[in-house]
Amino acid sequence: MSISAHIDFEPQIIADSHPDIVGPYALATADIYSDGDKDFIATSTNGDIVWFENLDGQVSFSEPKKQLLFTPMNFPPITIIPDDFNGDGKMDIAVGIYGFNQIIWFENAGSLSIEENSSNL
Ligand SMILES: [Ca+2]
Ligand SMILES: [Ca+2]
């Protein structure tokens, strides 16, 4: 007995040629806005980290919210891990920086933004 399944995937574009997304690198999902819906996080090759708010809990995302800026310019975050690192109930973000030999986490300081008050791990 054989079982075969055919699954179709339809592309859904979240960002297309947006100036805040320069060469998307690492991607992750997490509830950044703390409203129960998974938001979307992306890093760019220019060092920017942006997130997109999930507007309806399904597939409608906001424009990029460029509220994470990594100070050592032009070093792309190649890995990204969202989690609540300080246990305050708000999703934080950790990134590994290629070429800069650092792992940095960004504290989510509120329900709408993630502040740049990062510290090295
Ligand atoms: Ca959310
Ligand atoms: Ca937190």
Per-residue pLDDT of the chain (121 residues; tens, 9 = 90+): 677 889 999 998 888 888 888 888 899 999 998 899 999 999 888 888 888 999 998 878 888 876 655 556 667 888 999 999 999 999 999 988 888 888 888 888 875 455 544 444 4
In a domain, 89, yes or no: yes
Question: What is the pLDDT, as a whole number, of residue 112?
Answer: 47
Question: What is the pLDDT, as a whole number, of residue 114?
Answer: 52
Question: What is the pLDDT, as a whole number, of residue 121?
Answer: 44
Question: What is the pLDDT, as a whole number, of residue 39?
Answer: 93
Ligand 2 mean position, distance from CA 11 (Å): 32
In a domain, 116, yes or no: no
Number of domains the chain contains: 1
In a domain, 61, yes or no: yes
Where b means 16+ CB within 10 Å and e means fewer, 45-84 reads bebbbbbbbbeeeeeebeebbebbebeeeebbbeebbbee
In a domain, 114, yes or no: no
Ligand 2 mean position, distance from CA 7 (Å): 37
Question: What is the pLDDT, as a whole number, of residue 16?
Answer: 87
In a domain, 4, yes or no: no
From the CA of 112, the nearest ligand is 1
8-state DSSP, 3? -
Ligand 2 mean position, distance from CA 92 (Å): 5
Question: What is the pLDDT, as a whole number, of residue 120?
Answer: 43
Question: What is the pLDDT, as a whole number, of residue 119?
Answer: 45
In a domain, 28, yes or no: yes
In a domain, 44, yes or no: yes
In a domain, 15, yes or no: no
Ligand 2 mean position, distance from CA 93 (Å): 8
Q: Which domain holds residue 31?
A: 24-106
